[in-house]
Structure 1
């Protein structure tokens, strides 16, 4: 797990170009952290998910795609992600990182760099809620639309793990002036809840 400042020292290919832009303004952003792609990769490996997903989608022929079959398989794939468990060590590392990033005292939201859609976690049980939100975010990669896009673009259902951004608070309304200053667009400012920051 990385702070935005630590993430800025990583290659953009690892943490995302947007993360580098955000790190330049870390002092103006809510508390946050970057979950590297390696965390997601470890989750997939430890649960033997690549093999389970390969077997699940083995009946698909990308050259002659049966969208009805794909529509029945993708919810099952997403369920595999949501119901698979992180190892105890991975959970403890995640909880410690949330504490170090000051993300344990309230609501938070998660999203992939460069994407608009967020998952939120409530303050009631921030660690557990954040883990559930993280798995919901990962499971989105197995929606019908996401898998179909990979089939169309790459000829397969395979997925590359990607980093995840976690920020304190809930998404706010966009602030166009701040978006222009940060050079990130109002959708990003909206997802960060940056309205009214000095």
Structure 2
């Protein structure tokens, strides 16, 4: 897990382009941290999900998609993700990151960098609600709409592991708060003649 400040200097595949950009303004952001793509990859690998998902969708032909067949398979895939457990080490890493970011209570939302869709959780120590929201976010990648989109665009149901932002507040609230703070900072820099020096 990485703070936004740490994300600024990390590879895009690990934390996402938006996380790196937000790292430049970490002091203006609400409490937040980044779950790297390797965390999701570890979940899939340790629960043996790739072969199970491959077997589940084996009958689907991207060249001629049978939507009636695809839809119930997606329901099964979502259940498979939600029913799979993270390793205890991963759970403890998430709980520690929540404590370090002071996100042990109140609303938080989880989303992929660069994506508006999110999952909301009401954080409570130790962080079980946030853990469940994370799994719901991962499961969203296996809904009918998401899988159909991948089949249409890439010709496969497969997906790449991706990072997740965990941010204090309801979805949209931190983004609006950041925009307001950045405007205020910009106005101050204009007044002081500092624009162009940032």
Larger Rg: 2
Question: What is the CA deviation profile of residues 47-85 of structure 1, one whole-angstrom value per residue up to 9, with x for unaligned ones?
Answer: 100011001001111111101101111011011111100
Equivalent in the alignment of 1:131: 131
> What does residue range 59-78 of structure 1 map to in structure 2 within 5 Å?
59-78=59-78
TM-score, structure 1 length as denominator? 0.86
Secondary structure at 1:62's aligned position in 2?
Answer: coil
Give the distance between the partners of 2:71 and 2:163, measured in 1 at CA: 27
Q: Structure 2, unaligned stretches of length 5 or more?
A: 184-198
- Look up the match of 1:122: 122
8 Å Cα contact 1:57-1:73 kept in structure 2: yes
Structure 1 runs of 4+ off > 6 angstroms?
none
Counterpart in the other structure of 1:100: 100
State which drifts further: 172-181 or 137-146.
172-181
Aligned match of 1:141? 141
Segment of structure 1 superposing worse, 116-125 or 167-176 = 167-176
The root-mean-square deviation of aligned C-alpha atoms, in Å, is: 1.9
What is the correspondence of 1:109-188 to structure 2 with a 5 Å cutoff?
109-125=109-125, 127-172=127-172, 175=176, 178=179, 181=182
Distance 1:175 1:47, change over 3 A: closer
Q: How many residues align?
A: 182
CA shift at 1:117, angstroms?
1.1
TM-score, normalising length from structure 2? 0.86
Retained in 2: the 8 A contact 1:107–1:126? Answer: no
Q: Distance in 2 between matches of 1:177 and 1:113?
A: 15
Structure 1: 5+ residue stretches without partners: 183-198
Query: 1:89 and 2:89 equivalent?
Result: yes
